[in-house]
């Protein structure tokens, strides 16, 4: 019995070693690019578009790094577990680098580009006009009734309006406190905490009047219900979408930068809004939406 057990253990160990070597060889395959993403719709769509662009350029893509939490995705690229993912300049500035708030989009991009290269040996590729930043959304019917177009228009009416928000926005330096510092007090009639989908449903059903938003939220595609207010005094950091890639990958495969940089002119805020709406509002498959977009590119 003992000999049989030892033979069994030896067989299992041998199989494990073979599998480990095979996995290591696969993960180090020079033709495989590991594309990561964060765990929300927009990041998943963009990561899939990146993957399609790389495959069209002749690379094999490993998508197992998709759908990581915001905290894990940066660690994954620094540790070499993924090779690239879509990131936002404001996240790089404030969350990762811990630098002071800045509002000029190109200045923020140049700063994070330099700091990531020095600190992490990671490159920010070409800047895009696609911006997923904070904003304020109001029921369209109410905006038309009160003549509210901008955040400064909203301020004198705040006492009449029901505000729904994330808890974080109410306290963060670059949230409601930044609005108050720039525009004056916002003494809303009521304030309630709700998740993203619930906030939009509350506006649509007239259970609330105003909400915090992100500028590429898919729901905003329906202008009949929702109006994004103009940020007439710039108070929030820019969150421009840019692919970030480990330097060593670009050194070994310059075609990666070429493939991804070709996408940059085709990304803007309206494009992200449309892509998100297809998944969030109309319930379409992420891969289908990404492929439709990529195949329509000139």
Residues in CB range of 93: below 8 A, 6 or more apart: 99, 101, 102, 108, 111, 112, 237
CA distances from 230 to 49, 227, 234 (A): 30, 9, 10
User: How many other CB atoms are there within 10 angstroms of residue 259's CB atom?
Assistant: 22
What's the mean pLDDT in 267-293? 97
Residues in the chain: 298
Helix (H, G, I), strand (E, B) or coil at 232: coil
Enumerate residues 6+ apart whose C-beta is below 8 A from 25: none
Residue 26 pLDDT grade (very low, low, confident, very high; cuts 50, 70, 90): very low
What is the CATH T-level fold of the domain 31-131+239-295, as seen in this structure?
A: D-Maltodextrin-Binding Protein; domain 2 (3.40.190)
pLDDT at 74: 97
> Which pLDDT does position 30 carry in this prediction?
61
**Predicted local confidence at residue 129, as pLDDT:** 97
Residues 6+ apart with CB under 8 A from 88: 132, 239, 240, 241, 242
List 36's β-bridge partners, or say none.
Answer: 65
Q: Beta 241-246 vs 122-124: how paired, if at all?
A: antiparallel
Asked if the domains 31-131+239-295 and 134-228 are classified in one and the same CATH topology, the answer is yes
Domain boundaries, the chain: 31-131+239-295, 134-228
Section 242-249 average pLDDT: 98
User: Across residues 238-255, what is the average pLDDT?
Assistant: 97
Give residue 71's pLDDT band: very low, low, confident or very high (50, 70, 90). Answer: confident
d(CA 129, CA 240) in angstroms, rounded, equals 6
Contacts of 273 (CB under 8 A, 6+ apart): 215, 216, 217, 218, 220, 221
For helices 269-280 and 286-295, give the axis angle rounded to 10 degrees.
140
Domain 134-228 belongs to what architecture?
3-Layer(aba) Sandwich (3.40)
Q: Residue 249 pairs with which residues in a beta bridge?
A: none
List pLDDT tens digits, range 159-213.
999 999 999 999 987 889 999 999 999 999 999 999 888 999 999 999 999 999 9
Question: What's the pLDDT score for residue 251?
Answer: 97
Residue 196 is predicted with a pLDDT of: 81
At 83, the pLDDT band (50, 70, 90 cuts) reads very high
Write down the pTM of the prediction: 0.86
Yes or no: say if 112 and 89 are a contact pair by the CB < 8 Å rule.
yes
């Amino acid at each position: 019995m003992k000999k049989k057990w030892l033979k069994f253990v030896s067989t299992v160990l041998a199989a494990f070693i073979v599998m480990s070597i095979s996995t290591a060889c696969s993960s180090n395959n020079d033709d495989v690019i590991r594309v990561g993403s964060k765990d929300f719709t927009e990041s998943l769509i963009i990561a899939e578009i990146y993957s399609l662009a790389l495959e069209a350029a002749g690379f094999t893509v490993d998508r197992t790094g998709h759908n990581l939490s915001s905290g894990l995705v940066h660690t994954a690229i620094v540790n070499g577990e993924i090779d690239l993912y879509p990131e936002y300049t404001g996240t790089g500035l404030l969350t990762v680098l811990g630098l002071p708030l800045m509002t000029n989009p190109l200045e923020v991009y140049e700063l994070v580009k330099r700091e990531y290269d020095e600190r992490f040996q990671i490159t920010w590729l070409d800047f895009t006009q696609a911006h997923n930043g904070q904003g304020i959304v109001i029921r369209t019917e109410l905006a038309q009734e009160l003549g509210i177009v901008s955040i400064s228009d909203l301020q004198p009416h705040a006492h009449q309006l029901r505000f729904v928000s994330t808890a974080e926005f109410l306290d963060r330096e670059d949230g409601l406190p930044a609005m108050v510092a720039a525009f004056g007090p916002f003494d809303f009639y009521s304030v309630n905490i709700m998740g993203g989908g619930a906030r939009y449903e509350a506006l649509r059903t007239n259970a609330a009047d105003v909400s915090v938003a992100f500028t590429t939220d898919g729901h905003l595609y329906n202008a009949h219900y929702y109006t994004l207010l103009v940020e007439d005094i710039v108070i929030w950091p820019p969150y421009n979408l840019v692919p970030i890639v480990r330097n060593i990958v670009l050194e070994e495969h310059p075609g990666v930068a070429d493939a991804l940089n070709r996408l940059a002119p085709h990304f803007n805020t309206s494009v992200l809004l449309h892509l998100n709406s297809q998944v969030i509002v109309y319930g379409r498959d992420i891969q289908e939406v990404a492929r439709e977009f990529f195949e329509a590119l000139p």
